[in-house]
């Protein structure tokens, strides 16, 4: 085991025992290591530098949350690199096969967006009337009134998860109703 690994293992053990200073040293050292690992791997997949820092921060958070899973008999570096790899894969999955091209390069040749045909207030109310009970309340609160999940949950005495479920189901029901409304 090299000196870096010995230091990391000692700091990790001390952090697990409650030594905040050791934990700060560990996270600072791991952040530098993570940036190098993620930058090297990200370049092969065309991940932007701005996204690299997001991956590093997600990896540091995962390390914090999962530090109890580290086996003290194993080196810290490979464990941390595996977490970084998984966070990079998560980022690539979220990104899909999207390619980012700066719009400034094409702004003068792009056609102006066509005006979208929207719903009138009356049509929106008729669509919302399809929903009943909490689905109606949640969809109206979030989609019409502009409230967030937390505020809606507090307003209706629901958990945030229940609000998300009601919103998802309500929007799905509205999509079906909208398709039949437009036919």
List all residues 6 or more positions away from 119 whose beta carbon is below 8 Å from its beta carbon.
Answer: 127
CA distances from 25 to 14, 28, 51, 87 (A): 11, 5, 24, 22
Span 22-49, average pLDDT: 87
Residue pLDDT, tens place only, 44-93: 777 777 788 888 999 999 998 888 888 888 889 888 988 998 888 888 88
150: three-class secondary structure by DSSP = helix
pLDDT at 137: 93
Cβ proximity of 177 and 130 under 8 Å: yes
CATH classification of 3-95, choosing from 3.40.50.10490, 1.10.287.3510, 1.20.58.1180, 1.10.1740.10? 1.10.1740.10
3-95 and 121-182 share one CATH topology?
no
Alpha carbon distance 181, 132 (integer Å): 17
Confidence of residue 21 (pLDDT cuts 50, 70, 90): very high
CA distances from 146 to 75, 134, 137, 157, 166 (A): 49, 16, 12, 18, 16
Alpha carbon distance 62, 49 (integer Å): 20
**Percent of the chain at pLDDT exceeding 90:** 35
Q: Judge whether residue 131 has pLDDT over 80.
A: yes
pLDDT at 156: 94
Average pLDDT over the chain, rounded to whole? 84
Cβ proximity of 180 and 169 under 8 Å: no
Alpha carbon distance 61, 56 (integer Å): 9
Q: Give the alpha-carbon dihedral of 12, 17, 21, 22, to 10 degrees.
A: -20
Domain spanning 121-182, CATH architecture: Orthogonal Bundle (1.10)
* Least confident interval from 21-25, 90-94, 103-107, 178-182: 103-107
Q: Could you tell me the sign of the dihedral formed by the alpha carbons of 162, 165, 170, 173, in that order?
A: negative
Q: Judge whether residue 97 has pLDDT over 60.
A: no
Considering the entire predicted model, what is its pTM? 0.51
Domain ranges of the chain: 3-95, 121-182
- The end-to-end CA distance of the chain, in Å, is 69
Alpha carbon distance 83, 70 (integer Å): 11
Residue 59: closest CA among 125, 123, 51: 51
Confidence of residue 10 (pLDDT cuts 50, 70, 90): very high
Q: Judge whether residue 100 has pLDDT over 60.
A: no
């Amino acid at each position: 085991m090299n000196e870096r690994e010995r230091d990391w293992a000692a700091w990790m053990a001390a952090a697990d025992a409650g030594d905040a200073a050791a934990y700060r040293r560990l996270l600072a050292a791991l952040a530098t290591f993570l940036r190098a690992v993620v930058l090297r791997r990200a370049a092969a997949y065309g991940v932007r530098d701005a996204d690299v820092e997001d991956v590093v921060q997600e990896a540091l958070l995962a390390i914090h949350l999962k530090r109890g899973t580290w086996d003290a008999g194993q080196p810290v570096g490979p464990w941390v690199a595996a977490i970084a790899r998984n966070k990079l894969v998560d980022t690539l999955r979220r990104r899909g096969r999207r390619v980012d091209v700066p719009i400034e390069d094409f702004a003068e040749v792009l056609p102006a967006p066509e005006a979208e045909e929207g719903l009138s207030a009356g049509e929106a109310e008729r669509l919302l009337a399809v929903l009943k009970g909490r689905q109606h309340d949640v969809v109206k609160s979030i989609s019409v009134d502009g409230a967030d999940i937390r505020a809606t949950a507090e307003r209706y005495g629901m958990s945030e998860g229940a609000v998300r479920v009601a919103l998802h189901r309500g929007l799905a029901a509205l999509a079906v109703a909208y398709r039949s409304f437009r036919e």
